A and B are shown apart, each in its own frame.
Chain A
Amino acid sequence: MKELSDEIIMQKVSTGNLDLLKVLFERHHRYVYNYLYKMSGDAMLSEDLTQDVFYKLIKYRSSYKNGAFVSWLFSIARNNLKSYYTRNHRLHVDIESISHKTVDDGMEKNEELSQLQLALGKLNESDRELIVLNRYQEIKYEQLATIVGSTPGAVKTRVSRAMKKLKELYFENN
């Protein structure tokens, strides 16, 4: 079972084998949670949104269309976060509050990690999203392009520029 790809499993889920969703949950829920947590800086919210992502997976399983599963999954996560912000009239994450939160949360972690979080918090939202998805989730350019609605070439350039910015931010505090 473990060897089956996400796509094949999701295929089986969409035709009625609901139990296989547990496998997908085990494989991905922490990544989804981390993406949302890195983007929002709010652990409770991220948990709720992650939960909702998997509810949607259950509910809309039949709308899965053979594409890369990870792209589909993170598109749902991304939309969840966006609609949460739209609902709460916060179109942009307040960078100040993010960096505060990450610093507060980072108290228990080591110095270097909070440096990275601090630097990430200073990036604009779309740069941060690209970095988070590419670095933490190890999502390839092709899938990343599907998630953010762009082309692989453009995404590649954007990621590398965002990484450059991050590098500068990271080292200027060191």
Chain B
Amino acid sequence: MTACKESISELLHDYLDGVLPSHKNDMVEAHLDSCEACRQELEALKTLFGAFQSEAMDVPSTRLRSSFEEALEQEKAGQGVVHIQAKKKSWTSDFLKIAAGIALLVTAFQSGRILQLEKSNQDVAALLEENLQNKQMAMLSLMENQSASKRIQGVSYIEDFPNPDEAIVRALANRLLTDDNDNVRLNAFEALAKFSSSPEVKTVFIEALGQEKNPSIQIGIIQALVKIQEKKAVIPMQKLLEKEDTQPFVKNEIEMALPKII
């Protein structure tokens, strides 16, 4: 048999394992009877397979099992119990869910809108605030300007401040008390007169009355002080009365004013 080299020797392996279909098994056995070379090969293969079989399996350490079991426990802990509930759903619960969904949507939309609105209001307020601050800065710096007309312009900015802060009041008072220019002082007085109820302004007016030379401003201050019934104004008014250089019509004004206060 010349065909034995390839076809039969390839089958010997399976023949030894006993996994050949019966017709091939018969064929191999018939061939082995007549072929010495193949019989030798079969013996060699048997020895080799025997070596495989007699070899003890290597055994891994116990570490392997313990770490496996640990990993399994961890996985079980993390798995969480999954219940698949096939409960019947009634149409009412579906309807309620949809209604709840719509309600949620509307609420979310509305609250979003309100928040948006609030935010834009805040933005506008912030802008206005910023604008006012800029204006205040401009106002304060204008009042320090060399030119009298600029200072007057600065003073006139007071119209934009319904509630002027301390810095503005102090700057205006400063103008009223120290400015060389009559018109600036007059404007400063008129600006302050709107806030004559504030205690700082009152003190400023009383102080100004003591040193003011311009009759029209003197009269303005007297009228303003009378209006608020400032008792402390009596003494500087009397002093003005006694002064020789006080204009007669100013003295007149004081004489008319004093009884109104007292």
The answer to the question of A43 belonging to the interface, with a C-beta cut-off of 8 Å to chain B, is yes
B residues in contact with A92, CB < 8 Å: none
Q: Which residue of B lies closest to A16 (CB)?
A: B82
The answer to the question of B109 belonging to the interface, with a C-beta cut-off of 8 Å to chain A, is no
The answer to the question of B18 belonging to the interface, with a C-beta cut-off of 8 Å to chain A, is no
User: Is A18's CB under 8 angstroms from B51's CB?
Assistant: no
In the bound complex, what is the Cα–Cα distance between A135 and B256 (angstroms)? Answer: 131
User: Is A112's CB under 8 angstroms from B54's CB?
Assistant: yes
The answer to the question of A74 belonging to the interface, with a C-beta cut-off of 8 Å to chain B, is no
The answer to the question of B161 belonging to the interface, with a C-beta cut-off of 8 Å to chain A, is no
In the complex, identify which listed stretch (B27-35, B63-71, B183-191) lies at the interface while the others stay far away: B63-71
Q: Nearest Cβ in chain B — how far from A60, in angstroms?
A: 11
Q: Nearest Cβ in chain A — how far from B74, in angstroms?
A: 9
The answer to the question of A64 belonging to the interface, with a C-beta cut-off of 8 Å to chain B, is no
The answer to the question of B57 belonging to the interface, with a C-beta cut-off of 8 Å to chain A, is yes
Cβ contact of A50, chosen from B9, B45, B64, B76, cutoff 8 A:
B64
A residues in contact with B68, CB < 8 Å: 25, 29, 51, 54-55
User: Is B13's CB under 8 angstroms from A163's CB?
Assistant: yes
- Mask of B37-73 contacts with A, CB within 8 angstroms, 1/0: 0000100110011011011111111011101110110
The answer to the question of B166 belonging to the interface, with a C-beta cut-off of 8 Å to chain A, is no
User: Is A160's CB under 8 angstroms from B13's CB?
Assistant: yes
In the bound complex, what is the Cα–Cα distance between A51 and B62 (angstroms)? Answer: 11
User: Is A116's CB under 8 angstroms from B75's CB?
Assistant: no
In the bound complex, what is the Cα–Cα distance between A88 and B52 (angstroms)? Answer: 31
B residues in contact with A116, CB < 8 Å: 48, 51-52, 55
In the bound complex, what is the Cα–Cα distance between A163 and B44 (angstroms)? Answer: 11
User: Is B57's CB under 8 angstroms from A47's CB?
Assistant: no
The answer to the question of B10 belonging to the interface, with a C-beta cut-off of 8 Å to chain A, is yes
In the bound complex, what is the Cα–Cα distance between A140 and B19 (angstroms)? Answer: 10
Cβ contact of B60, chosen from A47, A109, A156, A157, cutoff 8 A:
A47
In the bound complex, what is the Cα–Cα distance between A30 and B59 (angstroms)? Answer: 6
A residues in contact with B41, CB < 8 Å: 167
User: Is B72's CB under 8 angstroms from A22's CB?
Assistant: yes
B residues in contact with A33, CB < 8 Å: 58-60, 64
User: Is B48's CB under 8 angstroms from A18's CB?
Assistant: no
The answer to the question of B146 belonging to the interface, with a C-beta cut-off of 8 Å to chain A, is no
- Does more than half of chain B's interface fall in helix, strand or loop, or is it mixed? helix
User: Is A25's CB under 8 angstroms from B58's CB?
Assistant: no
User: Is A34's CB under 8 angstroms from B57's CB?
Assistant: yes
Interface residues of B in 133-191 (CB under 8 A from A): none
Q: Nearest Cβ in chain B — how far from A123, in angstroms?
A: 13
In the bound complex, what is the Cα–Cα distance between A156 and B65 (angstroms)? Answer: 34
Q: Which residue of A lies closest to B12 (CB)?
A: A160
In the bound complex, what is the Cα–Cα distance between A112 and B50 (angstroms)? Answer: 10
A residues in contact with B60, CB < 8 Å: 29-30, 33, 43, 46-47, 50
Q: Which residue of B lies closest to A140 (CB)?
A: B19
Q: Nearest Cβ in chain A — how far from B68, in angstroms?
A: 5
B residues in contact with A133, CB < 8 Å: none
B residues in contact with A59, CB < 8 Å: 75
Interface residues of A in 132-174 (CB under 8 A from B): 135-136, 140, 156-157, 159-160, 163-164, 166-167, 170-171
Q: Which residue of A lies closest to B69 (CB)?
A: A22
In the bound complex, what is the Cα–Cα distance between A37 and B58 (angstroms)? Answer: 8
Also in contact, A136 and B54, with CB within 8 A (given A30-B60, A33-B60, A167-B44)? no
User: Is B51's CB under 8 angstroms from A21's CB?
Assistant: no
In the bound complex, what is the Cα–Cα distance between A71 and B193 (angstroms)? Answer: 100
User: Is A113's CB under 8 angstroms from B71's CB?
Assistant: no
Given contacts A116-B51, A160-B10, 8 further A-B contacts (CB under 8 A): A22-B69, A50-B60, A55-B71, A58-B71, A112-B51, A113-B54, A113-B55, A170-B48
CB pairs A–B below 8 angstroms (11 shown): A16-B79, A18-B72, A19-B76, A22-B72, A29-B68, A33-B64, A58-B71, A116-B48, A116-B55, A160-B13, A163-B48
Which B residues fall within an 8 A CB radius of A?
9-10, 13-14, 19, 41, 44-45, 48-49, 51-52, 54-61, 63-65, 67-69, 71-72, 75-76, 79, 82
